[in-house]
Amino acid sequence: MKKIRILTVFGTRPEAIKMAPLLLGMRGRPELEPLCCVTAQHREMLDTVLDIFGIRPDFDLNIMQPRQTLAAITTRVLEGLDEVMEQSKPDLVLVHGDTSTTFAAALTAFYHQIRVGHVEAGLRSHDKYSPYPEEMNRLLTSRIAELYFCPTLQNKMNLEAEGIRGGMYVTGNTVIDTVRLVARGDYLFKDTLLRSIDFNARRVILLTAHRRENYGRPLENIFLAVRDLCEKYPDIEVVYPVHPSPVVREAAQAVLGGVARVHLIEPLPVDDNLNLMSRCYLVLTDSGGIQEEAPALGKPVLVLRRETERPEAVAAGTAALAGVEREAVFSMTERLLCDSEAYAGMARAVNPYGDGHASERIIQAVLNNFGLAQRPADFTP
Which positions are catalytic?
98, 120, 134, 210, 212, 243
**φ, ψ dihedrals at 69, nearest 5°:** -90, 165
| List of E strands, 175-288 | 203-208, 236-241, 262-265, 282-285
| List of E strands, the chain | 4-10, 32-38, 59-60, 92-96, 115-119, 147-150, 168-170, 203-208, 236-241, 262-265, 282-285, 301-303, 319-321
Half-sphere exposure of residue 314, counting CA atoms within 13 Å on the CB side?
A: 15
Cβ(136)–Cβ(102) below 8 Å: no
* Gap between the Cα atoms of 33 and 16, Å rounded: 19
* Gap between the Cα atoms of 349 and 315, Å rounded: 10
Query: Residue type for 103, please?
Result: F
* Gap between the Cα atoms of 357 and 171, Å rounded: 8
* Gap between the Cα atoms of 349 and 357, Å rounded: 20
Distances (CA, A) of 2 to 8, 23, 91, 370, 372: 19, 19, 11, 12, 12
Three-class SS of residue 262? strand
Among candidate residues 271, 302, 258, the one with its CA nearest the CA of residue 284: 302
